[in-house]
Amino acid sequence: MGREIRKVAIVGGGVIGAAWAARFLLNGIDVAVFDLDPEVERKTLEVVANARRAQTRLHGAALPAEGKLTFAGSVAEAVADADFIQESLPEREDLKQRVLAEVDAAMPAHAVIGSSTSGLLPTKLQNGMQRPDRLVVGHPFNPVYLLPLVEVCGGDQTSLETIDVASALYTRVGMKVLHVRHEIDGFIADRLLEAVWREALWLINDGIATAAEIDDAIRFGAGLRWSFMGTFLTYRLAGGEAGMRHFLHQFGPSMEWPWTKLVGPKLTDELIDTVAAQSDDQAAGIGLREYEALRDSCLVDIMHALERNDFASGAVAKAYRTSLQGKEAVTLGSDCGDGHLLTQHTPVMPEWIDYNDHLTEWAYLKLFGDATDVVLARIGAGPDYVATGFSFYTVETHIRHLGQARLGQKVEVRTRVLGSDGKRLHLSHEMTNLDSATLIATAEHMLVHVDAKAEKSAPAPQHIAQAMQGLAAAQQHLAPPDGAGRSIKMPG
């Protein structure tokens, strides 16, 4: 079971299954989906489109080339050559047992099964399987393609190797594995969620609050803290310098107060109607996909913000992007085929746009600066070289703005070396909007090699000087770039 997982089968293509398919697919893994729903292909492709938009905003050009998506006509066809199977059927124990036994009989000998169940015990799900040691629970959270948490729980007969295989795969696709070491109904996260859900139903049942008011109490308050600190760390900080012990002494007596009702109210038809009606009012006629896209945008923005602090889910996203290095669909610093170097290939990110929804002025300089860094890495003057105390400083820049790029559109920068003399490096960049196939900006940079400690210019070492001259010579056949050497002046 130590082989690389190249193909995943999704058995059950509903909300969770389709989102699992998207996460695996966008991480370069081939996916086969089986579901009896005649519209499974349409629904899955819609979810994949939303996931692609969200993951591109979150990880940009770091994502690898997508895997291949297929739709199978049977369970056996879907799992026949799969290395891993993610089962996402409805929460019916008898249904899952029957289909898991079918999956077990048809899958390859090395394959592992992960069940998306949100609360059924894996030991019970293993009943009927010939190879129960290959089953583990992999319980995700919606949207699966964006939220990193996955609870991994083995049954009585699950092997440690199976848990390791599943955990390694989930980590590989950018998830945070929470190992549930002991079987318990609802695992960990859903038991916490159920307590809040029961109390929320009581608040509606007793006429205390509406669905919208309850959601506001969470999303404008504790929910923002929960997204990056959870409960215990939040309460620890509430204890001040004395920490959790002081908090428990101070607030412990409140646990004796009859505030909450941890036994849920009976879901009568009247309560169901009330909750459903209030939920409809809260939705205000906005469609499912529009709400999903809005939700995803908010989550991405939170993750980007947390990433800038290298904390919580932002730290997971940062570590995952680092793990993707070298797996990108395009290779920066490679030859474009016409002599230019490919130095940037990225979608326009939200933080790069201005009030006109265009790529803003400073972002052009950032992208051209990043392109210059790719050239420097190509000639051996990357971060490791800078750490030795030497570097290249940009001493002159000229940017021409010729067109526009909007949020989400892909831009590409191609670069050539116009000249070098062992101390100076003269670069020309061209930025193209790939969506409109138009040249939108050019940049000309002059860089000087410096001794950073002495804070003065210095000749580059021979291997770097030769690399610069080699690039310049290899690109001599290219026509002179338009605008090179041009100065800014009023028309004569």
pLDDT range class, residue 2, cuts 50, 70, 90: low
Q: What's the pLDDT score for residue 43?
A: 97
What tens digit of pLDDT does each residue of 123-181 get? 999 999 999 999 999 999 999 999 999 999 999 999 999 999 999 999 999 999 999 99
Task: Please tell me the predicted confidence (pLDDT) of residue 79.
Answer: 98
Average pLDDT in the chain: 92
- Confidence class for position 116, pLDDT limits 50, 70, 90: very high
CB-facing half-sphere around the CA of 398: CA atoms within 13 A: 13
Whether a cis peptide bond, with omega within 30° of 0, leads into 143 is yes
Class of the domain covering 190-285: mainly alpha
CA distances (Å), origin 49, targets 54, 213, 293, 304, 353: 9, 32, 10, 20, 22
Q: Is the pLDDT of residue 1 over 60?
A: no
Q: Which amino acid is at 430?
A: E
Question: What are the C-alpha distances in Å from 240 to residues 221, 225, 252, 356?
Answer: 19, 16, 15, 45
> pLDDT band for position 357 (50/70/90)?
confident
Distance, in Å, from the CA atom of 211 to the CA atom of 85, rounded to the nearest integer, reads 37
User: In sequence order, which residues have a C-beta less than 8 Å from that of residue 293 and are 6 or more positions away?
Assistant: 50, 53
Token duo for residue 83: 């290395």
Neighbours of 42 (CB within 10 A): 10
CA distance 322 to 319: 5
Q: Find the mean pLDDT for residues 248-276.
A: 77
Beta bridge partners of 429: 415, 443
What is each CA distance from 382 to 344, 374, 485, in whole angstroms?
16, 8, 27
For CATH 1.10.1040.10, the residue range(s) in the chain are 190-285
- Does residue 72 have a pLDDT over 70? yes
Q: pLDDT (tens digit, 9 = 90+) per residue, 73-110?
A: 999 999 999 999 999 999 999 999 999 999 999 999 99
Averaged pLDDT for residues 251-276? 78
CATH 3.10.129.10 location in the chain: 341-474
> What fold, for 341-474?
Thiol Ester Dehydrase; Chain A (3.10.129)
Please, how many CA atoms are within 13 Å of residue 368, restricted to the half-sphere of its CB?
29
Q: End-to-end alpha-carbon separation of the chain, Å?
A: 74
Percent of the chain with pLDDT strictly greater than 90: 70
Encode pLDDT of 203-242 as tens digits.
Answer: 999 999 999 999 999 998 999 889 888 888 888 888 888 8
Distance between CA atoms of 183 and 187, rounded to whole angstroms?
A: 7
Contact 153/190 with Cβ under 8 angstroms?
no
CATH of segment(s) 7-186: 3.40.50.720
- Residue showing tokens 């969770």: 16
CATH 3.40.50.720 location in the chain: 7-186
How far is 333 from 295, CA to CA, in rounded Å? Answer: 36
Examine the pLDDT at 272 and tell me if it is beyond 80: yes
Q: Which has more pLDDT, 261 or 123?
A: 123
